[in-house]
Amino acid sequence: MPLRASDLLTLTREGLYCPLGGFHVDPTWPVARALITHGHADHARAGHGSVLATGETLRIMAVRYGEDFCRTRQEAKLGEPIRIGDVTVRFAPAGHVLGSAQIAIEAEGVRVVVSGDYKRARDPTCLPFEVVPCDVFITEATFGLPVFRMPDTSEEVAKLLASVALFPERAHIVGAYALGKAQRVMALLREAGYDRPIYLHGAMEKLTELYKREGIRLGETPKVVAAERAKLHGAIVLCPPSSIQDVWSRKFPDPVTAFASGWMRVRARARQKGVELPLVISDHSDWPDLCRTIRETGAEEVWVTHGQEDALVHWCGTQGIRAKPLHLLGYGDEEVEGASESASESTAGPAPGPAGAAVDLEASP
């Protein structure tokens, strides 16, 4: 009997499971053998028996969870086939954060690709996404609605620098996720020619140091000293999103609050959070890039893990591609605020759209 995709990948309580290889991919519970796509907390958890991931992802996990985050670890080199049980796996860059990879699983000429989280937009802090032709493509759909079209990041960084020039006495407090987004914003600022120190909240420090050790040039990034905050006129300060509004940020001189996130594409959300300067910078694919990627893989079948699944599944149908939502729970937490609000808006929003989502969106970016 010919091999079916479900022999290569299926769903268990812990998440995606490969029966022929005896391993899980990005399991949300501790398992004997895990293959990990990238270091965000919703995909990379501590407590597995063995972990196979890229070297960068293994080092990110060690920084986050301690050196004993699993019993044994193995580094996957990009592009190199690795035999596990009756399947061959191969890691390919996903363009999402440093070390992020898609995982191709293959046996008897059938190939399934688990993309983890991915984006096609340029990112100076990680390798670009590589299209891996496959039979079944497993995709996220964080921004899986046609209204989600992300602007060029250089425009967003220019907005921030224009504000710094306009208000030289005010500190600019930029909320950004500690793994990936924060370092991407720093690298984009450097590309734009900003050469002053970029100040960091303590929560950003370890991962930023790791990025520097991995060869990503981020310039001078001192940690904010609490007693010095009032003196940081005109400084750019990066902090976790939750710190934008808390008492920590109020000690800076007349702070301008900014937030770097794909969710800033939703103007109402920026208003809700009291964000004065929304910066639309996403580490996930927008709608055109989700569709383009699915087409480029040539997959006949698509499984959608999490996010705005329904619209993408529907679009696949219009293209003659079989598709199903997996409704995986536990993903999306890397952007905790965005994910939870997205969920509440799609159930309690005022005007459900045709795909069942009720995101409050403005007409233009």
Size of the site for Zn ion (CB under 5 A): 5
Cα–Cα distance, 306 to 140 (Å, whole number): 5
Q: Kindly give, in sequence order, each residue whose CB lies less than 8 Å from that of residue 40, ignoring residues fewer than 6 positions away.
A: 97, 117, 179, 180, 333, 334
d(C-alpha 307, C-alpha 234), whole Å = 37
Q: Taking a C-beta distance cutoff of 8 angstroms, is the pair 171, 232 a contact? A: yes
Site for Zn ion in 228-267 (CB under 5 A): none
Site stretch for Zn ion (CB under 5 A), options 80-88, 112-120, 127-135, 167-175: 112-120
Q: Which stretch binds Zn ion (CB under 5 A): 33-41, 144-152, 267-275, 351-359?
A: 33-41
Are the C-beta atoms of 53 and 44 separated by less than 8 Å? Answer: yes
| C-beta neighbour count of 100 within 10 angstroms | 32
Pairing of strands 110-114, 136-141: parallel
In whole angstroms, the minimum distance from the beta carbon of 225 to Zn ion comes to 31
Residue closer to Zn ion (CB basis): 315 or 331: 331
Q: Does 7 bind Zn ion (CB under 5 A)?
A: no
- Note whether 117 binds Zn ion by CB under 5 A: yes
Residue 80 CB neighbour total at 10 angstroms: 10
- x/- track of binding to Zn ion for residues 301-340 (CB under 5 A): ------------------------------x--x------
CB of 41 to Zn ion, least distance (A): 9
- Treating both helix axes as pointing N-terminal to C-terminal, what angle do 55-65 and 205-213 enclose, rounded to 10 degrees? 150
Q: Which is nearer to Zn ion, 172 or 306 (CB)?
A: 306
Q: Which is nearer to Zn ion, 56 or 334 (CB)?
A: 334
> What length does the chain have?
365
Query: Which C-beta is closer to Zn ion: that of 42 or that of 56?
Result: 42
Neighbours of 302 (CB within 10 A): 24
State which of residues 16, 37, 39, 40 lies at the interface with Zn ion (CB under 5 A). 40
Least distance (Å) between residue 101 CB and Zn ion: 12
Residue 56 binds to Zn ion (criterion: CB under 5 A) = no
Measured from the CB of residue 356, what is the shortest distance to Zn ion in angstroms? Answer: 21
Binding site for Zn ion (CB under 5 A): 40, 42, 117, 331, 334
